[in-house]
Chains A and B, each alone.
Chain A
């Protein structure tokens, strides 16, 4: 099972870049790494997904080293509205349509003015 570990919490200030790292030492060859964002009283929302190297979209960047045992979500120039819980998800897909999806414990990001 691919288990993930993230920092429990992080603080930042508006306008700063925030990097959240997730460890997944047992990641399997076919696993992708996905990050979700969750605001209070809402369900998680997809941010970004990647397999290796770097992925960038309009919201964030995802950096994955060659060994894929960790990944770093980078949020450029955060604002107060980025205050949320961020989850790292590593797909552990077995044969066919079976598999297990394991969320990390989440990182609570608090952005201060």
Chain B
């Protein structure tokens, strides 16, 4: 059983297109995240949702819009794709993000997005 799953694993598309990446976790966690990893391996948080509520929204172009239909799902929709959007996108989940500690995050396998 996969704890955090993402679809698709690979996504190749043309500039200007709109695409979505889906994420699901079966761990019963309350918090989900989207990260972007560039070619230099730098891992940067984009968004986080806790119980379907947006709690972290980093400086990300508004072409990126997360959507959480329920706490087990966090999808990422990207409008008007640009060359610079090419990267690996990771979804993650954790039990919570509260108090004085950082809950362990469980990451999905990643989605490699290539914009041509």
Contacts and interface: CB of A to CB of B under 8 A. Distances in A.
Interface residues of B, number: 31
A89 to B, nearest CB: 7
Contacts of A31: 100, 102
B104 A34 contact: yes
Interface stretch (A13-21, A68-76, A101-109): A101-109
Nearest to A106: B41
Contacts of A51: 101
Contacts of A78: none
Interface string B36-80: 000011111100101000011010000000000000000000000
Contacts, number: 84
Contacts of B102: 31-32, 34, 49, 89, 91, 93, 99, 101
A99 B45 CA distance: 11
Contact of A105 (B42, B45, B99, B107): B42
Contacts of A87: 43
B90 A106 contact: no
A77 interface: no
Given A49-B104, A105-B41, A96 B90 contact: no
A43 B109 contact: yes
A42 interface: yes
A112 interface: no
Contacts of A36: 105
B101 A32 contact: yes
A46 B105 CA distance: 7
Ranked nearest first, the 3 interchain pairs of A and B with the lowest CB-CB distance are: A43-B107, A91-B102, A30-B100
Interface of B: 4, 31, 33, 35, 40-45, 48, 50, 55-56, 58, 90, 92, 96-102, 104-110
